Amino acid sequence: MSAVLVTGATQPLGRAVVEGLRDRGRRVLAVGIDPDGDFPGDVVYESVDLSRARSLKRLMFGPAVDLGVDTIVHLAFHRTPGHPRAHKLHVDATRLLLRMSERHPTIRRFVHRSTVEVYAARLDRPDVLREDNPLELSPKAPAWIRERVEADLTACTRMGMGDLDIAVLRCSEIFAPKMGSQLHDYLSSQLCFRPMGFDPILNLLTVEDAANAFVLAAESDATGVFNIPGKDTMPLIWLTRKWGRDSVGVPGPMLGPLYSARRWLRRTRFRYDLNAWRFHFNGVLDGTRAREELGYVPEHGIEWPRLDSGGAGD
Amino acid sequence: MTRGPRLPRLTGNGHLSRLLLPKRLHPVAERVKLKDEGHGIDLFGLDRAGITRGLAVSWWLYEHYFRVESHGIEHVPSDGAAVLAANHSGTLPLDAMMLAHDLMRNRQRPVRIAMDYFVPGLPWINLLFTRAGGFSGTRGNFHALLDAGELVLAFPEGTVGIGKPFSQRYQLQTWRQGHVELAIEHQVPVVPIAVIGAEEQWPQIARIDGLESLGIPYLPIPATPMPLPVKYHLYYGEPIDIPSMFDASQVHDAAAVAEGAEMVRNAVERLIEHGLSERQGVFS
């Protein structure tokens, strides 16, 4: 029986994907950086630093061959923007994994995790983003976003170049703790600042729905790029209120320094420069292609906190 | 969840709008069809509170200031996607506001108004428009809205139309073709519309150009501090049955698109001529 290799398996999304694949009777080779994966007995866990080519080669041509891995679900993701290891993990590891998969004796399919952030931020951008929307290639874009675009393009440029089937899943923001969610970090403060006079529409994805999308993609033969939206679509102000926070409008140019100071003083991870565009303009993924070709439909809404007073924004 | 003291809520939720809107118009706001994405709002930001706010802002202008008369609204499909194409003028887009009000009131449909790219970048103004049905006029947005079966209003004259000099009133300016291209691609009808009255509402005496750095194409200098209380007449023409005239594959045929755009332009011109011949005067 063939198996699926899941990278980033010790992160919440990875665990959910491993669980979903097990439920479908697939054998799983879970890969993470932690020494111990703490998975059920039928899951083979390997602790591997994906940014090291030698470790990766040992994994790919060792346990992956032994278990007959035919599909890779590449979810590994560094949660901290600007971390020196992030580029290696996002771009270099993706390139190496793809290169090794192409000449691997058993691997036939590669599913890559990408994100809504890869779409170009410019005024002629539509509010509803399809897969053919231009990507963010501006030299002014933050390095964190350029890395995500580079990783996405690394996977896309390999499509149709060999026998490997490649699917790239561009996910809405997965709104959960320990997922590198900038919005989750943004809402960690009781008082949230936003650009005055703007209230953009956001779409949020749950770990459950994201995991379902990756399991469906691993099981499918469909190739290409797929947008993965979540079930919850709402304005930024409603989101803050539903999460029990207060939001205050501040002139746009003040937000960068304000959040830089807050990050420095309170050690928060939220970076305004990564979110400036979407805090002004709408950007919701169109999931038609994923629905039609993968059978993906978002089903799980965000679990909102029960507030002791006041109501949600709507 | 335990949490600290709340700040006083400064964002609106429709209560003020409901107070400003006469009770007899509350059912209008409630009947308008809205594609709810689960939290009472659609993908572009249209919500019930925005519809109510839009009606509250426009009803007095519609009924008392511009005394709008609507003709032929039955030509607008009661369901399904369609492109509406109208002449554009008036320094500020009050013609779009009156059309939106008319369609909500008499057709129970929100009209999605294509806005120039600079509008979503204007603080507060972007919210006023998008929450009441406006959208950034990008091709991708047009596709998404027509796919969703919405009524999309385009002003093929664009910003040139709204800023046209008084001496060129009711003369259609450069007529763009994008609306017909979309209608052919999506196989939907185009409803021609003539707005009579708006072209005299607020004559411009000058304009200041070169303000792109401030996010606006130009600043109009109107002759009067307020729009004149002209009488509006909205004429909806018979739908141009694009699907029976053009195949979807003809979207790449420049001659076919130009022919379709000319048909729409001629239909709007005929409606304008008819409207001007019917009216008693600018203010009556």
Judged by a CB distance cut-off of 8 A, whether residue A66 touches chain B is no
Judged by a CB distance cut-off of 8 A, whether residue B24 touches chain A is no
- Tell how strand B233-236 and strand A246-250 pair up: unpaired
Neighbours of B185 (CB within 10 A): 20
Which CATH number describes the domain made up of A3-294?
3.40.50.720
Q: Give the helix/strand (H/E) hosting A86.
A: helix A86-87
Q: What is the predicted pLDDT for the residue at B13? A: 60
Flag whether pLDDT at B11 surpasses 50: no
The domains of chain B are located at: 25-278
When CB atoms are compared, the residue of A123, A124, A232 closest to B39 is: A232
Per-residue CA distances from A47 to A7, A28, A35, B186 (Å): 10, 14, 6, 52
Judged by a CB distance cut-off of 8 A, whether residue A302 touches chain B is no
> What is the C-alpha to C-alpha distance for residues A183 and A240, in angstroms, rounded to an integer?
10
> What is the C-alpha to C-alpha distance for residues A10 and A211, in angstroms, rounded to an integer?
13
Using DSSP, state whether A41 is helix, strand or coil.
Answer: coil
> What is the C-alpha to C-alpha distance for residues B137 and A274, in angstroms, rounded to an integer?
25
pLDDT in tens, chain A (314 residues): 689 999 999 999 999 999 999 999 999 999 999 999 899 999 999 999 998 999 999 999 999 999 999 999 999 988 777 787 888 888 999 999 999 999 999 999 999 999 999 999 887 889 999 999 999 999 989 988 999 999 999 999 999 888 999 999 999 999 998 888 999 999 998 999 999 999 999 999 999 999 999 999 999 999 999 999 999 999 999 999 999 999 999 998 899 999 999 888 888 888 999 999 999 999 999 999 999 999 999 999 999 987 654 444 33
Q: What is the predicted pLDDT for the residue at B1? A: 46
> What is the C-alpha to C-alpha distance for residues B218 and A72, in angstroms, rounded to an integer?
54
Whose CA is closest to B102, among B243, B197, B227?
B197
The domains of chain A are located at: 3-294
Residue in chain B nearest A287 by alpha carbon: B144
Q: What is the predicted pLDDT for the residue at B104? A: 94
Site of tokens 């470790």: A55
When CB atoms are compared, the residue of A124, A233, A235 closest to B138 is: A124
- Flag if B38 and A231 touch (Cβ within 8 Å): yes
Instruction: Tell me if ipTM is over 0.90.
Output: no
CATH architecture entry for B25-278:
3-Layer(aba) Sandwich (3.40)
Whose CA is closest to B154, among B98, B107, B84, B239?
B84
Name the packing angle between helices B94-107 and B48-60 (round to 10°): 110
Query: What integer is the mean pLDDT of B171-186?
Result: 96
More confident residue, B7 or A259: A259
CB A120 within 8 A of CB A84: no
Main-chain phi, psi angles of B207, to 5 degrees: -150, 150
Beta strands in B210-283 (DSSP E): 218-222, 233-236
Q: What is the predicted pLDDT for the residue at A308? A: 57
- Flag if B13 and A313 touch (Cβ within 8 Å): yes
Query: What integer is the mean pLDDT of B250-258?
Result: 96
Q: What is the pLDDT of residues B121-170, one digit of tens each?
A: 889 999 988 988 999 999 999 999 999 999 999 999 988 888 888 889 99
> What is the C-alpha to C-alpha distance for residues A290 and A114, in angstroms, rounded to an integer?
14
Interface test with B, best of A116, A124, A127 (most B CBs within 10 A): A127
Q: What is the predicted pLDDT for the residue at B10? A: 41
